Chains A and B, each alone.
Chain A
Amino acid sequence: MTTTAPAPTGTKRASATGAARPRRRPRVLHKGSIAILLAPFGILFALFYVLPIIFAIGQSLLVVRREGTFGKAELVFGGLSQYALVFQNEAFWASMLRMLAFGVVQVPIMLGLALLFALLLDSPLLKGKRFFRLAFFVPYAVPGVIAAIMWGSLFSPNLSPFTALTEKVDFLGADLVLWSIANVVTWVYVGYNMLIIYSSLLSIPSEIYEAARLDGAGQFRIAWSIKIPLVRPAIVMTAIFSIIGTLQLLAEPQVFRSFSSAVTSTFTPNMTVYATASIPNSNLAAAFSVVLAVTTFVLSFGFMKWMQKKGNA
């Protein structure tokens, strides 16, 4: 991808037609330009996306071996032994299951609300749409860390404006803290997802609704039978990004540790990666990262394929 000079295989054709400025498209024209356009992104993508993955896989296959108790530590090939440790690590799988529960509950609630708001914004039922659109979207501008500091304070009994509630319900206790974090994530991302779905609704020509309206269909019926099926691709996309986001959860629970002792250092998979890397045991941490990346890819890709299949059926 780094070569800017045209490869020899294409020159025959390109030089034959190049001088005459062809109107019809020969096979590969402008090779040099294509390379110049692609190379900067391509090189950085290779360095900071592809290489880390390869490197992580490499590191995850190594183990530290010592000669005797006080001997020099040495990295040697250990096959899949780090992965054996990953699969035996109960804290890691507990965090994966926690994120699964989180995703199964939080993602549908968040996307359901986003869809509802988008449909209301697109319906003739509301006044002041611009205000609502902005007000609901503003939390997206709040970084996860800041949102968690805010909500952590609102949930903690001594700071909260809602002491009557926080004294009765322990939002930061072991039972509820996961859902308090889910609330932070929902608060930040509902408006963002709402806008994605709303933009998709805007691109539907309204003539499509005319017939339904003439037939006497109400707004609810139009939304259910016409609008929702048409914005399905947007909903699928928001769902994929939400699945990815859930598995990567880190900032919000990490901040919540300062408000709640119920959030352990291995509360989410990424926190486990960080905690393991801090030991430091980078080979095991690399194995965790690989398993997490593969799981994320499989789940998001699988969900996408499943939706495509359902869409075609």
Chain B
Amino acid sequence: MSAVTTSHPRVGRSGAPRSGSPRSRAIREPLVSRTSAMLIMAVFTVYFLLPLWWLLVASSKSTGDILTTNPLWFADMRLFSNIGDLFAYRDGIFLRWLGNSLLYAGLGGAVATLLAAMAGYALAKYRFPGREIIFDVVLGGVLVPATALALPLFLIFSQVQLTNTFWAVFLPSLVSPFGVYLARIFAASSVPDELLEASRLDGAGEIRTFFTVSLRLMSPALVTMFLFQFVAIWNNFFLPLIMLRSEELFPVVFGLYGWNNQLNQIPELRGLVLIGALLSVIPLIVIFLLLQRFWRNGLGTGALK
């Protein structure tokens, strides 16, 4: 995988100083170039944001208004009563789904990140026979994606009678081979060997050093790893589809999929699907705003080394 190891985009940014102020250069760029660049970006901003705007507007309407009023502008403002209806529907099953997703993605993402960090760190910082083989096998795991494994996982879980349980969706999402790959690259570049030697001279054990010193140095990468694993679990579709039958175990995205499929029989669900879709996206957008902040911190940390 040496084609991709040379520069890792997400964690490997060294935050190199960029000399020359952009402003002074901008003056020299021809007006035509600047205008066409802005025009391209403006057109695509509409493309990327319009569907979300439509979703927001549609979520604020009554089911009747969705079909009859201007789709891109508000009619009767019903956003909060729609949210109330959604939370009340079938004894608050939607809130249950939201909670399930937070548990699957929040706890699963955190554990997956820690385990990947430990493994990546061991592969980066210690020399031992079989190290390269282990790393290659893990990289093979990156190339054989989880969805190709959903059916075999189902077959295994049915052998031990664990399908249609919390564990059937939770346990497989604890494994993040790509996380190990990122952790190895980041540990190699951000945890200096001298620091580990110093820690050893102080008499600290290897594991303790990992948790007290190394993990902190790797934290920008850990946040990034966590957030991408969080999103992967939150968006996971095949595993719930094949594993889960009981509604009370569904993650929110899968629950909404079920409602969307029932629209032909129960048309009044349309409003709930839309407001539910909006609410299921908001936690992710919030968490990505956090990602932006951490990313900038990560940049700063990288620049110090």
Interface residues of A (CB under 8 A from B): 21, 23, 25, 27-31, 33-34, 36-38, 40-42, 44-45, 47-53, 55-56, 59, 113, 116-117, 120, 123-127, 132, 134-147, 149-151, 153-154, 158-161, 187, 190-191, 195-197, 199-200, 202-207, 210, 218-220, 231, 233-234, 236-237, 240, 244-245, 248, 250-251, 254-255, 258, 270, 273-274, 277, 282, 285-286, 288-289, 292-293, 296-297, 300-301, 304, 307-308, 311
Residues of A within 8 A of B150 (CB): 270, 273
The answer to whether A41 and B116 touch (CB under 8 A), given A145-B256, A234-B9, is: yes
Q: List 15 A-B contacts (CB under 8 A).
A: A28-B129, A37-B121, A38-B134, A41-B116, A41-B119, A52-B149, A53-B144, A56-B149, A125-B29, A141-B281, A145-B254, A199-B9, A219-B33, A240-B4, A304-B4
- Kindly state whether residue B37 has any CB partner on chain A within 8 Å: yes
- Kindly state whether residue B154 has any CB partner on chain A within 8 Å: yes
Asked whether B253 lies within 8 Å of A143 as measured between CB atoms, the reply is yes
Complex CA distance for A59 and B156, rounded to whole angstroms: 10
- Kindly state whether residue B95 has any CB partner on chain A within 8 Å: no
Further pairs besides A135-B49, A141-B281, A248-B147: 5, Cβ < 8 Å: A33-B206, A38-B134, A206-B16, A219-B29, A254-B257
Complex CA distance for A135 and B16, rounded to whole angstroms: 25
- Kindly state whether residue B273 has any CB partner on chain A within 8 Å: yes
From A38, A206, A220, A236, B122 is in contact (CB under 8 Å) with: A38
The answer to whether A200 and B7 touch (CB under 8 A), given A132-B41, A138-B52, A282-B151, is: yes
| Min C-beta distance of B198 to chain A, whole Å | 11
Complex CA distance for A307 and B223, rounded to whole angstroms: 30
Listed from nearest, the 4 A-B pairs whose CB atoms lie closest are A52-B152, A33-B206, A161-B71, A56-B152
| Min C-beta distance of A274 to chain B, whole Å | 7
Complex CA distance for A47 and B157, rounded to whole angstroms: 11
Residues of A within 8 A of B253 (CB): 143, 145-146
The answer to whether A45 and B237 touch (CB under 8 A), given A124-B29, A141-B285, A145-B254, is: no
Complex CA distance for A197 and B141, rounded to whole angstroms: 23
From B33, B55, B234, A143 is in contact (CB under 8 Å) with: B234
List B263-280 residues whose CB lies under 8 Å from chain A. Answer: 263-264, 273-274, 277, 280
* Interface 1/0 per residue, B58-94 and A, CB below 8 Å: 1000000011001110000000000000000000000
- Kindly state whether residue B12 has any CB partner on chain A within 8 Å: yes
Residues of B within 8 A of A144 (CB): 235, 237
Complex CA distance for A246 and B194, rounded to whole angstroms: 44
Residues of B within 8 A of A28 (CB): 127-129
List B109-144 residues whose CB lies under 8 Å from chain A. Answer: 115-116, 118-119, 121-123, 126-129, 134, 137-138, 140-141, 143-144
The answer to whether A296 and B20 touch (CB under 8 A), given A41-B116, A126-B37, is: no
Residues of B within 8 A of A197 (CB): 9
Complex CA distance for A95 and B5, rounded to whole angstroms: 33
Asked whether A293 lies within 8 Å of B128 as measured between CB atoms, the reply is no
Asked whether A33 lies within 8 Å of B151 as measured between CB atoms, the reply is no
Question: Closest B-chain residue to A206, C-beta based?
Answer: B18
Asked whether A149 lies within 8 Å of B16 as measured between CB atoms, the reply is no
Complex CA distance for A31 and B200, rounded to whole angstroms: 15
Residues of B within 8 A of A134 (CB): 292
Complex CA distance for A292 and B238, rounded to whole angstroms: 15
Asked whether A296 lies within 8 Å of B143 as measured between CB atoms, the reply is yes
Asked whether B19 lies within 8 Å of A207 as measured between CB atoms, the reply is yes
Asked whether B41 lies within 8 Å of A49 as measured between CB atoms, the reply is no
Residues of B within 8 A of A289 (CB): 148-149, 151-152
The answer to whether A125 and B155 touch (CB under 8 A), given A49-B175, A197-B9, A205-B16, is: no
Asked whether A145 lies within 8 Å of B235 as measured between CB atoms, the reply is yes
* Interface 1/0 per residue, B1-42 and A, CB below 8 Å: 111111101101111111110100110010001100110110
| Min C-beta distance of A227 to chain B, whole Å | 13
Question: Closest A-chain residue to B176, C-beta based?
Answer: A41
From A135, A147, A159, B67 is in contact (CB under 8 Å) with: A159
Asked whether B152 lies within 8 Å of A59 as measured between CB atoms, the reply is yes
Complex CA distance for A135 and B277, rounded to whole angstroms: 19
Asked whether A136 lies within 8 Å of B45 as measured between CB atoms, the reply is yes
From B37, B51, B257, B285, A125 is in contact (CB under 8 Å) with: B37
Complex CA distance for A143 and B287, rounded to whole angstroms: 14
The answer to whether A150 and B54 touch (CB under 8 A), given A44-B175, A248-B145, is: yes
- Kindly state whether residue B242 has any CB partner on chain A within 8 Å: yes
- Kindly state whether residue B260 has any CB partner on chain A within 8 Å: yes
- Kindly state whether residue B180 has any CB partner on chain A within 8 Å: yes
| Min C-beta distance of A295 to chain B, whole Å | 9
Complex CA distance for A308 and B288, rounded to whole angstroms: 33
Asked whether A270 lies within 8 Å of B147 as measured between CB atoms, the reply is yes
Residues of A within 8 A of B273 (CB): 149
Residues of B within 8 A of A113 (CB): 44
Asked whether A304 lies within 8 Å of B277 as measured between CB atoms, the reply is no
Residues of B within 8 A of A34 (CB): 122, 126, 128
| Min C-beta distance of B50 to chain A, whole Å | 8
| Min C-beta distance of A296 to chain B, whole Å | 6
From B29, B37, B238, A270 is in contact (CB under 8 Å) with: B238
